[in-house]
């Protein structure tokens, strides 16, 4: 289980920074919408922007940082980083990701409008799901922004 | 993006996200304060607590990200920068030398263009996972045929039939057959145009397609093969020709002349060796085909004779449909130019393109006013003049957004509406003439 403060941030966050590691060992960060079902952190990626998927397939170790007060309307505002192991689910790129629509819709209601017009940008809606099982959390609380509390988590898989 | 440019732009962001690979092999990433040093193309990052410092000399990534939340919608104003380089550690601070940078700002590269520029990467991913892009059959037909553009055929067919009806000739059955034949030929042309634009490279080169320009993209997205599209086009042409032959045999062989002229114009529009569209004659060909030829054909089917009035009435419709093509060529200008597709928009300056649009639209309205004054057209067709403000707004937007394809899209949609509304108001003018 994630600390409740972090769960709340994940539920509110419009954007988080997913960091993956490329083949050369370099970290690469992508701003994405984080979705959370109480156990797993989900992100989706269009095949158009599939570099991150390749990197995760090569090295499943990732982190998700919650850093932007504009994108996370929680009071008081804290920051958090979740390290975990990611799996790319791409066996049904056309509609497999649609199971996450209820979580996605809650953060970006306009997605339904885009989806009705998916014929206009069909490849954007061919998407893989990134499932992240959290293993460690760094919580940067408002009163000590430089020194995080660290939580080691039991594996969810 | 150049590293120095990224350092400069980073100053617009309130914080950085520092990422590096920790000793356990997992990425460590967190928000931190930063100061950009443009002169040295570097950043001072920190203060950081001792346990959050990377190793001296370690490669790190600094990310600067921005969105604007929009209540009830989600967010907009997406932009981000990633800067990579080695970190030098000094006490509780890092100095990060910016070596490389990437990023995206949707104000500079609109979302649709950003997607289009990555199509190759998306298709490669499909190849790697042994799959293919999919789309529901109905939608695939809708976009492959560019079905909404069928109004270009429906309007002149209705206009020809309305003029004939005002002269006492009308049959619903014949109207239905004329619509079927004309629509089949039109869809055949749309699909053929995609096939030839794919072969010439015009559509694959285009990274700023819109729903109104740049083709249907079904071939480029590998939703349908070029061969399937060619077969679909042949099928539509076969249906159109069969209906045309039936009408010519039952209503008069003069229809063969119009039919052959229509097919020749539609094929010569895009196919080698003529490629009228490449020679700046696309607008004339489209205007002729979806103006006089279709209107006169529809009139002849009803009346078994030609009509000067039908020809005259078709002229504004011809101009407006030519303007649809003309404006849709604006976002395609760079791609068309690159492959030698010398459309009028490619040939003329921005100012010239806008001015020619104004002159052409004004001419269409003058023709109607003149037609009514000379008692060629019914007085009720003057109702078409209510679309003048619509035309003016299109000219204004064309002038303002000429170089911004996605900002031009609403005006392109309005331009298609202009043809539809102006054409329908001419038809309504004739219906009122019959009824009143």
Phi, psi of B10 (to 5 degrees): -60, -25
Q: CA–CA distance from B160 to each of B102, B167, B290, B354, B364 (Å)? A: 57, 11, 11, 30, 17
Q: Is the pLDDT of residue B70 over 90?
A: no
User: Do A108 and B21 count as a contact with CB atoms less than 8 A apart?
Assistant: no
* Model pLDDT, residue A35: 97
pLDDT higher than 60, residue A72: yes
Residue of A17, A110, A124 with shortest CB distance to B29: A17
Count of structural domains within chain B: 2
Q: Specify the pLDDT at position A120.
A: 82
CATH 2.30.110.10 assigned to A4-152: yes
| B201 confidence band (pLDDT: 50, 70, 90) | confident
How many Å lie between the alpha carbon of A82 and the closest alpha carbon of chain B?
9
Cβ contact (<8 Å) for B67 and A14? yes
Provide the pLDDT for residue B340.
83
Chain B residues with CB inside 8 Å of A26's CB?
Answer: 59, 61, 84
Question: pLDDT tens digit string along B378-389?
Answer: 999 999 999 999
| Average pLDDT of the residues in A44-64 | 97
Contact state of A67 with B30 under an 8 Å Cβ cutoff? yes
Tell me if B75 is assigned to some domain: yes
Residue B93, domain CATH: 2.30.110.10
Q: What pLDDT is attached to residue A1? A: 83
Residue A157 has pLDDT above 80, yes or no: no
Q: Report the alpha-carbon distance of residue B259 to residue B95 in Å, rounded.
A: 74
A62 closest CB neighbour out of B27, B75, B221: B27
Contact B66 A110 (CB under 8 A): no
Q: Is residue B261 part of a domain?
A: yes
H or E, element range at B80: strand B74-90
The verdict on residue B224 lying in a domain is yes
Question: Does residue B158 carry a pLDDT above 60?
Answer: yes
Check pLDDT > 80 for residue A145: no
| % of chain B residues with pLDDT over 90 | 79
The minimum CA-CA distance between A5 and chain B, rounded to whole Å, is 16
Better-predicted residue by pLDDT, A73 or A66: A66
The region, left, alpha or beta by phi > 0 then psi within -120 to 50, assigned to residue B91 is: left
Q: Are residues B331 and B398 in the same domain?
A: yes
Task: Judge whether B129 lies within some domain.
Answer: no
- Kindly identify which residue of chain B lies nearest to residue A61, measuring between CA atoms: B26
Same domain assignment for residues B104 and B173: no
CATH code where residue B281 lies: 1.10.600
pLDDT at residue number B72:
74
CB contact under 8 A, B27 and A63: yes
Q: Domain coordinates of chain A in residue numbers? A: 4-152
Looking at the complex, report in whole angstroms how far the Cα of residue B211 sits from the nearest Cα belonging to chain A: 7
| Domain co-membership, B279 together with B383 | yes
Above pLDDT 70, what percent of chain B? 100
Mean pLDDT computed over every residue of chain A: 92
**Segments in B167-307 forming alpha helices (H):** 172-200, 202-205, 226-251, 254-270, 282-288, 294-303
Neighboring chain A residues of B123 at a CB cutoff of 8 Å: 47, 123
User: Which residues, in sequence order, are bridge partners of residue B69?
Assistant: B75
Contacts of A29 in chain B (CB under 8 A): 17, 19, 29, 61, 63, 82
Q: Are residues B86 and B23 part of one domain?
A: yes
Tell me which chain A residue has its CA closest to the CA of residue B51: A147
Residues near B351 by beta carbon (within 8 Å), at least 6 away in sequence: none
Comparing B62-76, B83-97, B218-232, the range with the smallest average pLDDT is B62-76
Check CB contact under 8 Å for A81 and B122: no
Which residues of chain A have a CB within 8 Å of the CB of B67? 14-15, 31, 68, 70-71
Residues B9-43: tens digit of each pLDDT: 999 999 999 999 999 999 999 999 999 999 999 99
Residue A2, both tokens: 């994630």
**DSSP string spanning B366-426?**
HHHHHHHHTTSS-GGGGGGGGGHHHHHHHHHHHHHSTT-HHHHHHHHHHHHHHHHHHHHHH
Tokens of B265: 């114009």
> Which residues of A are less than 8 Å from B16 in CB distance?
none
Tokens of B11: 């100053």
Helix or strand run (H / E) with residue B31: strand B27-32
Model pLDDT, residue B269: 83
pLDDT tens by residue, B351-397: 999 999 999 999 999 999 999 999 999 999 999 999 999 999 999 99
Rounded average pLDDT over B187-193: 92
Instruction: Kindly report the nearest CA distance between residue B106 and chain A, in angstroms.
Output: 14
Asked whether the predicted pLDDT for residue A148 surpasses 80, the reply is yes
Same domain, B181 and B224: yes
The predicted complex's ipTM stands at 0.94
- For residue A34, the SS3 value is coil
Flag if A31 and B67 touch (Cβ within 8 Å).
yes
pLDDT at res. A19: 98
Which tens digit of pLDDT belongs to each residue from A15-37? 999 999 999 999 999 999 999 99
The span from the CA of B402 to the CA of B398, in Å, is 5
pLDDT digits (tens, 9 = 90+) for B281-331: 999 999 999 999 999 999 999 999 999 999 999 999 999 999 999 999 998
> What is the pLDDT, as a whole number, of residue B200?
87
Band of residue A155 on the pLDDT scale cut at 50, 70, 90: low
Cα dihedral across residues A47, A52, A55, A59: positive or negative: negative
Distance from CA of A119 to the nearest CA of B (A): 6
Mean pLDDT of B126-144: 94
Count CB atoms within 10 A of the CB of residue B241. 17
Residue B142: which of A15, A25, A119 has the nearest Cβ? A119
CB pairs under 8 A between A and B: 167
> Distance (Å) from the C-alpha of residue B100 to the closest C-alpha of chain A?
12
Confidence of residue B215 (pLDDT cuts 50, 70, 90): confident
List of chain A residues whose C-beta atoms are within 8 Å of the C-beta of residue B15: 67-68
Mean pLDDT of chain B: 93
pLDDT at A108: 87
Q: Quick check: B29 and A81 CB within 8 A?
A: yes
Q: What DSSP state is assigned to residue A5?
A: H
Residues B154, B60 share a domain: no
Is A71's CB within 8 Å of B75's CB? yes
Among chain A residues, CA nearest to B74: A108
Predicted confidence at residue B183, as pLDDT, reads 96
Task: List the domain range (segments joined by +) for residue B32.
Answer: 3-108
pLDDT in tens, A90-141: 999 999 999 999 999 999 888 888 888 888 889 999 999 999 999 999 999 8
pLDDT at B75 over 80: no
Residue B275: the pLDDT is 84
Do B293 and B176 fall into the same domain?
yes
Q: What is the pLDDT of residue A156?
A: 52
DSSP string covering B258-278, please?
Answer: HHHHHHHHHHHHHSTTT-GGG
Within a domain: B114 = no
Mean pLDDT across B400-412: 85
- Inter-chain residue contact A65 with B112, CB threshold 8 Å: no
> Taking the CA atoms of chain A, what radius of gyration do you get in angstroms?
16
**Is the Cβ pair A63, B143 closer than 8 Å?**
no
> What is the token pair recorded at B25?
């092999």
């Amino acid at each position: 289980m994630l600390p409740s403060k972090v769960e709340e941030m994940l539920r509110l966050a419009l954007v988080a920074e997913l960091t993956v590691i490329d083949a050369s060992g370099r970290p690469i960060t992508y701003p994405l919408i984080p979705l959370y079902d109480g156990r797993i952190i989900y992100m989706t990626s269009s095949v158009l922007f599939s570099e991150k998927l390749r990197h995760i397939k090569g090295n499943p170790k990732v982190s998700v940082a919650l850093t932007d007060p504009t994108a996370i309307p929680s009071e008081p505002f804290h920051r958090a980083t979740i390290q975990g192991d990611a799996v790319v689910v791409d066996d049904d790129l056309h509609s497999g990701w649609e199971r996450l629509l209820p979580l996605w819709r809650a953060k970006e209601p306009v997605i339904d409008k885009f989806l009705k017009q998916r014929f206009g940008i069909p490849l954007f809606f061919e998407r893989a799901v990134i499932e992240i099982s959290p293993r460690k959390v760094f919580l940067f609380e408002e009163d000590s922004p430089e020194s995080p509390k660290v939580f080691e988590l039991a594996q969810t898989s | 993006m150049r590293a120095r440019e990224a350092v400069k732009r980073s100053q617009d962001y309130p914080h950085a996200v520092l990422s590096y690979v920790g000793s356990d092999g997992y990425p460590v990433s967190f928000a931190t304060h930063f100061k950009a040093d443009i002169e040295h193309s570097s950043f001072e990052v920190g203060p950081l607590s001792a346990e959050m410092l990377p190793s001296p000399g370690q490669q790190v990534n600094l990310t600067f990200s921005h969105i604007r939340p929009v209540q009830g919608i989600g967010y907009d104003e997406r932009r981000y920068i990633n800067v990579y380089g080695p970190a030098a550690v000094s006490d509780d601070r890092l100095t990060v030398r910016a070596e490389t940078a990437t990023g995206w700002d949707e104000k500079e590269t609109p979302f649709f263009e950003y997607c289009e520029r990555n199509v190759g990467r998306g298709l490669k991913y499909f190849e790697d996972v042994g799959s293919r892009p999919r789309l529901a059959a109905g939608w695939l037909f809708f976009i492959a045929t560019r079905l909404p553009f069928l109004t270009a055929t429906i309007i002149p067919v209705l206009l020809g039939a309305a003029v004939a009806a005002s002269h006492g000739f009308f049959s619903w059955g014949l109207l239905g057959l004329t619509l079927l034949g004309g629509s089949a030929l039109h869809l055949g042309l749309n699909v053929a145009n995609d096939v030839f634009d794919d072969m010439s490279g015009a559509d694959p080169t285009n990274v700023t397609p819109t729903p109104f320009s740049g083709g249907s993209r079904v071939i480029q997205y590998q939703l349908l093969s070029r061969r399937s599209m060619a077969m679909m086009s042949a099928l539509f042409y076969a249906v159109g020709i069969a209906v045309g032959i039936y009408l010519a045999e039952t209503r008069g062989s003069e229809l063969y002349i119009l039919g052959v002229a229509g097919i020749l114009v539609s094929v010569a529009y895009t196919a080698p060796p003529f490629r009228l569209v490449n020679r700046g004659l696309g607008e004339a060909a489209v205007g002729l085909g979806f103006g006089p030829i279709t209107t006169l054909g529809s009139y002849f089917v009803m009346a078994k004779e030609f009509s000067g009035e039908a020809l005259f009435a078709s002229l504004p419709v011809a101009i407006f449909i030519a303007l649809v093509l003309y404006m849709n060529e604006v976002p395609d200008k760079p791609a068309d130019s690159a492959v030698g597709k010398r459309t009028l928009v490619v040939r003329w300056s921005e100012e010239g393109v806008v001015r020619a649009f104004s002159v052409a639209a004004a001419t269409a309205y003058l023709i109607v006013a003149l037609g009514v004054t000379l008692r060629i057209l019914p007085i009720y067709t003057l109702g078409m003049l209510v679309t003048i403000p619509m035309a003016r707004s299109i000219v204004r937007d064309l002038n303002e957004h000429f170089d911004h394809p996605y900002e031009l899209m609403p005006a392109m949609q309005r331009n298609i509406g202009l043809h539809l509304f102006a054409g329908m108001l001419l038809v309504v003018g004739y219906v009122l003439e019959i009824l009143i």
